[in-house]
Amino acid sequence: MKNEHGHILVVDDHKTNRLKLSLGLKQQGHTVALAENGQQALDMLRAESFDVVLLDIIMPELDGYQVLEQMKSDSKLRDIPVIMVSAVEEIESVVRCIEMGAEDYLPKSFDPVLLKARLGACLEKKKLRDLERAYLQQEVMLRQSEKLATLGKLSAGMAHELNNPAAAAQRGAGQLQAAVAQLQQAYLTMSEVSLSHAQLDSLRAFDQQAQERAEQPFDQDTLARSDREHELETWLVDRGIENGWEFAPVLVGLGTDAGELGSVAEDFTDSQFPAVITWLSCTYTIYSLLEEIGHGAGRIAEIVKALKTYSYMDQAPIQSVNVHEGLDNTLVMLRSKLREGITVRREYAEDLPKIQAYGSELNQVWTNIIDNAVDAMNGQGELVLRTRQEDGWVVVEIEDNGPGIPDEAQANIFDPFFTTKSPGEGTGLGLNISHNIIVQKHGGEIGVRSAPGKTCFEIRLPINSETAENA
Ligand SMILES: Nc1ncnc2c1ncn2[C@@H]1O[C@H](COP(=O)(O)OP(=O)(O)OP(=O)(O)O)[C@@H](O)[C@H]1O
Ligand SMILES: [Mg+2]
């Protein structure tokens, strides 16, 4: 066995035992720290990192069992191997310690050969365990950064897309509260000026008109509209309606004007008319706000639905994938990034067959490549998405007319963490993730041809593969 050296903690309440062990360990090349009681041992373990603990069982206050127990319940100390040091007559206690998770034991009668053999085995195990843990941690971090990398690209755009309708709905709900309170007031006032059946019928007709108009507001020329508002406001104020300035824009939106309201006014008395105007204005405002809120919520639902199709949520991981749908959904998800200055040309093959694939992973690939293309074109240029069938393959090309990838970089672009972007703009994982998804998961191929003014990523996916990982 290879001779491992370690940093060893010796815990014993007897000074002679401590020194004897310490000497023996030092002679074998280890470094040693000493603790004279259980509590001191735990404090040292938490402050410093040790490879092995040699632990006496019988000690005053905190004994060996308790130290062992506390170590095993502490995730930071759990994996440090513990060798119990015991007198021969304590054999039953040793069994108990091993059941509690101690690695091994040594008799108190100090034997350098035995010490070397047991310690060597322990250190070797500890080293393997540390390696395993480091590997797992790295693996977890890599998976996490992969997920975050794609998520980051989408979430900025998504936040932007969701923000407008959400803000509109929220604003609408706030205004609705005030409008409903005003409507209640109008009702109370109207009940005081008791209306006839005929008058109520004309209000019902207005209610209907308000509902319809709110659903389909008409497009009015801004200048003409403001003229009409001004005219109506003057007319209302002349009729003694104080809030004329507040009601005029609403009533113009409803499509009425001074002429129409003049004939309505004839049906009501002077004391009834202001209440009727308030009621009419509030009613239309409320219908319009409801419409606005509904519209905002509907837009949010639409975006969430696109996100669901994009991510193939609620679906089996491998399915029959329509590549064109995936590309189109990706364009929807990246809409805010593509909006200005980028034209997208789609040259899709007719009758492109569906392929057996991991749909959401493929969408990650399209996202990463399109994201890079848009970055490269710096917001100005043309993006071409091309598909074709070739023998047993579906071929997808994503092309941009940006500055291209320098020859010396082309060999590295698929390496993890290779990036030419400044920190915060790129992690260098996009193409590495894409490569893994296409090559490892699908048994496909991914490559690039690039020159200034034309960069084309070509992805080839087998149509009828058992996807590679399952093959
Ligand atoms: N269409 C392209 N035109 C020019 N250079 C590109 C293009 N696509 C990729 N590159 C280069 O390849 C590098 C690696 O791309 P990759 O997507 O792996 O990482 P990244 O975009 O830098 O960061 P991220 O992890 O955010 O995607 C980029 O930094 C860029 O230099
Ligand atoms: Mg990228």
Which residue is listed with tokens 């590679």?
468
Rounded-to-integer distance, Cα 80 and Cα 68, Å: 10
Nearest ligand by distance to the CA of 373: 1
Atom of ligand 1 at shortest range from CA of 152: 26
- If one counts every other C-beta atom within 10 angstroms of the C-beta of residue 126, the result is 19
Calculate how far, in angstroms, residue 1's C-alpha sits from the geometric centre of ligand 1: 48
Look at residue 84 in the predicted model and tell me its pLDDT: 93
Look at residue 345 in the predicted model and tell me its pLDDT: 97
pLDDT digits (tens, 9 = 90+) for 345-375: 999 999 999 999 998 889 999 999 999 999 9
Look at residue 88 in the predicted model and tell me its pLDDT: 67
Rounded-to-integer distance, Cα 312 and Cα 326, Å: 10
Nearest to 7 by CA among 16, 15, 22, 77: 22
**Most ligand 1 atoms within 8 A of CB, residue of 371, 419, 438 to mutate:** 419
Look at residue 406 in the predicted model and tell me its pLDDT: 96
Residue owning the nearest CA to atom 13 of ligand 1: 419
Look at residue 2 in the predicted model and tell me its pLDDT: 52
CA distances from 214 to 148, 203, 218, 284 (A): 43, 16, 9, 7
Look at residue 351 in the predicted model and tell me its pLDDT: 92
Nearest to 450 by CA among 347, 365, 369, 335: 369
Phi, psi dihedral angles at 15 (to 5 degrees): -60, -45
What is the CB < 6 Å shell around ligand 1? 149, 368, 372-373, 376, 400, 402, 404-405, 413, 418-421, 426-432, 455
Residues of the chain below pLDDT 50: 1, 470-471
Look at residue 42 in the predicted model and tell me its pLDDT: 96
- Domains with residue ranges and CATH for the chain: 7-110 (3.40.50.2300), 161-302 (no CATH), 317-470 (3.30.565.10)
pTM of the model: 0.57
Those residues whose beta carbon sits under 5 angstroms from the ion ligand 2 are 372, 430
